[in-house]
Structure 1
C-alpha cells in the first residue's frame, strides 16, 4: 500500500538514488548539510596590466638616471672651481666666469655637438638591429673629435666586451659615407653651439652694464646654476632621443610617438620642479659662491627669471632631442638660430640697454628665446608624420636596400618552381 501511494504521488523527499556523494557546496544539489545563507564569493583581483605609458616612462628613466649621475659628477669640477674663485673676491670670480665661457666656446660645445649627429644614426641602426652598421659612424666620429679619455673608453670596451656585436674590424669603410654622417653631425653641432654661445655673448654684454664686475661674476654663478638644472632635462633628452631612434629603426612609429609624448610630459614636470627650486633658493644660493652683497642681490633677483626660463627650456631641450631622434637636426638648428638670435638677442639688448632693466633684461631675453623655441618645437612635433619618419629611418640606416634585396631574392625563388613546371605550395 505504501509503495502504491508513493508511486502514485511522487515526493521530492525521496530523491532517486545517485552514486555521487552529497556535497554541501554544490548549489544544484542541496542537502541537509547545505547552509541556508551562503558566504559571498570572493572576487580575486585580476592582474592589471601595466599601462604602456608607464612602461615607456620606466624605459626612459632607466636610460636617464645613469646619465644624471654622470652629469652631476662632471658638474662638480667647475662648481668647486667657482666656489674657490668666489672666496678670492669679485674680480677672480668674474675672471673665472670668462675663462669657463671661453672653454665652452672653443672646446666643449663642438665635440658634443658632433657626437649628436652620430647618435641619431646609431640609435636608429640599433633599433633596426643592424649592429654591423654601428661601427662605421663610430670610427668616423673618432676622427672628428678629440682623444680625451680614449684609454679609459677602450679599456671599458675590452673588459665588458661591448664591441663583440658591433665591431667588424678596421676597414676602409670608415672613410666612406662621410656625407651622411656630416649631414647629421654638422647641423647638430650648429644647434648645440648656437644655444651655448648665446650665454657667452650675454657674458660679454655684461661688461657693458653699469657694474661690470658684479654682473659678470653674477652671470658666472647663474650660468653654473643653469648648468646644474640643465643636467636633468639634458639626460632626459638623450634618453628620449634614444627611445625614439630605436622605435623608428624597429619600424614602430606609434611607439616612437608614445616615447616622444612621455618625454615631453616629463620635461614639463622637470620645468615646474626647476621653477620651484629657483624660487625657493633665490636668497641663499649665491652665498654658496660668494659673500659679496651686490652679487648676492643681483643673483637673487634673476633666479626667478631662470626658473621661468626652465619652463620653456626643458620642453625645448626634449623637443630638440626628438628632432634628432627622427634624424632632423637641421630643423632644430634653424629653430635655435631663429629663436635665440632673431628673438632672444634683440629682446635682451633692448630691455638691458634701452628699457632700463639692466642685468635682468639680459635674462628676460633668454626667457623670450626659450619660450618661443619651445612653442615652435611643439608645433613642429605636432605636425610630424611618424609613419613617414619610420620609412625614412630605413634610408638612414641602410635597411631599405637590404629589405629590397631580400624581397628580390624571395621573388626570384618563388618564380623558379613555376618555370620548372612544379606547382608552388599553397
Structure 2
C-alpha cells in the first residue's frame, strides 16, 4: 500500500477536527434530531433481531411435537452450536460495524465493499473447523458423560445444522454492510420473507414429509441461504449500494490479518459473555431437584434472550451513529449519540422490568403448566428484571464500543466481569449460601453489573476529539486507491 495515499487525507481530516469548536452542551433540536435518527435505525434492527432469533426457536417448536428424546437432542445440539459457532460468527461480523461504519462516515465508500469481502472470506474459512466440531457433536457429548440416546440425537441434528453455518456467517457480514449505511429496509424485507419461508419449510419437511429433526435443521439452512441470496441481489443491483459495492476485488482477500485484529476480539467479546450464561445451565443440572432448576433456567434464559432483542437493536443503532460520526470527524455528534442511546435504554429496561415482575404468573404459564415451576419463576422474576437492566445498559455500551473499535478493551472487561466476578459469585451464592438457581442468577448479575459499570466509566472518560483522530488513522490506513478497488 502506498504510504502517500493515506497520509495526505489523514492530515486534512485532522485539521477538520482541530478547527472544530468544543461545546459543553447540546440544544434541544440536536437532541431530538439524534433521538429520531436512533429510533428510525433501532426499530428495524429490533425486528430483524427478533425474526432471526425465531429461526432456531421455530425449528425447536416443531421438533417438540416429535417427542421428548428428539426435543432433548435438538435443544442440546442448538446450545452447543450457539456456543461454538453462531455466537462466534455473530461476534466476528461485529468488526464490520467498526470498519464499514467509520469508512462510510469518512466517505471512503469504496472500502465498504473491500471490508465486506475480507469479512466474508475470514468467516467462511472459520466455518471449516467449526463444522468439524459440529460433525463430532455426538462423540463430544458422549465423552462428557451425556445420555447416549440424547447424544446420538444431538449429533444428528448438529450435522444437519452445518449447512446453515456458512450462510449465517455471510448474513452477518451483509447485515453489518447495510446497517452501517443506515440502509435498514432491505434487512426487514429479506428477513421477514425468510422467516415465513422457514415456517413453511418446517411444516413441509417435518410435518408432511416426515424428515423429523433433520428436516427442521435443514429448514434453518434454507431460510438463511434465501436471506443471503435476497440481500446479495439487492447489494449487487440496488442504486443505494452503487458507491459501496464495486464488485469483487483482489483486495478483498488481502490483509485478512488486518480484519482479524478486530475480528477475533469482537468474537471473544460476544462469546465470553454467552459462554458464561451457558455455564449456568450446566451448573443447574447438578443442583438438588435438577428438573426444577433446569426448567427454571431454560425459561429464564429464553425470557432474557427475548428481552435483550430491544437493547441489542439500540446497541446496533448507536454503533452505526457513533462509527459514522467519528468517521466524519464529528466527535461532538458521536458523544451526543452515546448519551441519547443510554437515555433510551434506561427507559426501556425499566418499563420491561416492571412488566416482567407484574406479569410473572401469566408469562411462566406460557412455558409450562407445572405449578412448582410457575411458583419458582415468581420468585426468580424480580431477579431477572434486574438482570435485564444490567444487560440493557451493557448492550448499548457494547454497541458504542463496536462503533469506536474498542473490542480489545471490551474483551478484557468481559473476561474479568464474568469469569473473575460473575461466575465465582454465582457458585458461591448457589453452593455456599444454598440459594439454588436464584443464586446463579444473582451471581451472574454481579458480573453483568461490573461489565456495565466498567464500560460506563470507559465511555464517560473518553476524549471524543482524540477518538475521532484515531478513527481517521484507522480509516485511511486501511484505504486503498479508488482506481485499484475493482
How far residue 84 of structure 1 moved from its aligned partner, in angstroms, is 6.4
| Residues 114 and 186, structure 1, Cα contact 8 Å, conserved in 2 | yes
- Name the counterpart of 1:40: none
How far has the Cα of 1:61 moved from its partner? 0.8
Do the aligned residues in 1 keep the contact of 2:106 with 2:327 (CA within 8 Å)?
yes
Root-mean-square deviation (CA, aligned residues, Å) is 2.4
Partner of 2:254: 176
Using the alignment, how far apart are the partners of 2:69 and 2:289 within structure 1?
12
Shift of 1:100: 3.1
For residues 364-385 of structure 1, give each alpha carbon's deviation from its aligned partner in whole angstroms, at most 9, with x where no partner exists.
0121111111111111111101
Aligned to 2:167: 147
Determine which of 265, 270, 273 is the counterpart of 2:348: 270
Question: Does the CA-based 8 Å contact 1:191-1:329 persist in structure 2?
Answer: yes
Distance 1:94 1:369, change over 3 A: farther
From the superposition, tell whether residues 89 and 274 of structure 1 become closer, same or farther in structure 2 (CA, over 3 Å). Answer: farther
Q: Is 2:84 the counterpart of 1:106?
A: yes
Q: Distance in 1 between matches of 2:256 and 2:460?
A: 31
Structure 1 unmatched ranges of 5 or more: 1-48, 403-426
Q: CA deviation at 1:50?
A: 5.8
Matches within 5 A, 1:377-416: 377-398=455-476
Helix, strand or coil: the match of 1:398?
helix
Q: Indicate the SS of the match to 1:51.
A: helix
Which protein, 1 or 2, shows the higher relative CO under an 8 Å CA cutoff with sep ≥ 6?
2
Is 1:55 aligned to residue 33 of structure 2?
Answer: yes
Q: TM-score under structure 2 normalisation?
A: 0.69
- CA–CA distance in structure 2, aligned partners of residues 210 and 124 of structure 1: 51
Quote the Cα distance in structure 1 between the aligned partners of 2:349 and 2:276: 20
TM-score (norm 1): 0.78
Distance 2:64 2:479 in 1: 59
**Partner Cα distance (1:66, 1:298) in 2:** 35
Measure, in 2, the Cα distance between the counterparts of 1:90 and 1:364.
Answer: 30
CA shift digits 1:113-169 (9 cap, x unpaired):
011112211000000010011111100111122234332321232353443111233
The answer on whether the counterparts of 1:97 and 1:217 sit within 8 Å (CA) in structure 2 is: no
Contact 1:133 1:166 in 2 (8 A): yes
2:427 is matched with 349
- Please, which moves more after superposition, 243-252 or 81-90? 81-90
Alpha carbons of structure 1 residues 250 and 316: separation in structure 2 relative to 1, 3 Å: same
SS of residue matched to 2:448: helix
Residue of structure 2 equivalent to 1:359: 437
Structure 2 CA distance for partners of 1:50 and 1:178, relative to 1, 3 Å = same
Matched, 1:239 2:317: yes
Could you say if the C-alpha distance between residues 292 and 129 of structure 1 is closer, same or farther in structure 2, counting changes exceeding 3 Å? same
- Equivalent residues in 2 for 1:243-322 (5 A)? 243-322=321-400
Secondary structure in 2 aligned to 1:72? helix
Structure 2 runs not aligned, ≥5 long:
1-26, 124-165, 169-224, 481-486
Measured at CA, do residues 84 and 50 of structure 1 come closer, stay the same or move farther in structure 2, by a change above 3 Å?
A: same
Tell me if the contact between 2:42 and 2:316 (Cα under 8 Å) persists in the aligned partners: yes
SS in 2 for 1:122: helix
CA drift at 1:330: 0.8
- CA deviations on 1:282-324 (whole Å, 9 max, x unpaired) are 1121211221222222222212111101221111111111111
- Relative to its length, the structure with more helix (as a share) is 2
Residue 197 (1) aligns with residue 275 (2): yes
Number of the residue aligned with 1:328: 406
CA, structure 1 residues 229+106, in 2 after alignment: closer, same or farther (shift >3 Å)?
A: same
| Separation (CA, whole Å) in 1 of partners of 2:300 and 2:58 | 15
User: Alignment length, in residue pairs?
Assistant: 355
Of residues 343-352 and 169-178 in structure 1, the stretch that sits farther from structure 2 once superposed is 169-178
Deviations 1:71-117 (A, max 9, x none): 22233344445666778898877665534321211221011001111
Give the Cα–Cα distance (whole angstroms) in 1 for the partners of residues 331 and 235 of structure 2: 32
Judge conservation of contact 2:111–2:479 (CA < 8 Å) in 1: no
CA contact (8 A) 1:128 1:399 kept: no
Q: What is the aligned counterpart of 1:160 among 232, 238, 251? A: 238
In the alignment, what sits opposite 1:135?
113
Q: Distance in 2 between matches of 1:350 and 1:251?
A: 47
The CA distance in 2 between the partners of 1:401 and 1:222, in whole Å, is 45
SS in 1 for 2:361: coil
- Relative to structure 1, the CA distance from residue 230 to residue 66 in structure 2 (aligned partners, 3 Å threshold; closer, same or farther) is same
Alpha carbons of structure 1 residues 251 and 383: separation in structure 2 relative to 1, 3 Å:
same
C-alpha deviation, 1:180, in angstroms: 2.6
Among 280, 285, 305, the residue aligned to 1:227:
305
Give the Cα separation in 2 of the matches to 1:337 and 1:293.
38
Structure 2: how far apart are the matches of 1:84 and 1:163? Answer: 38
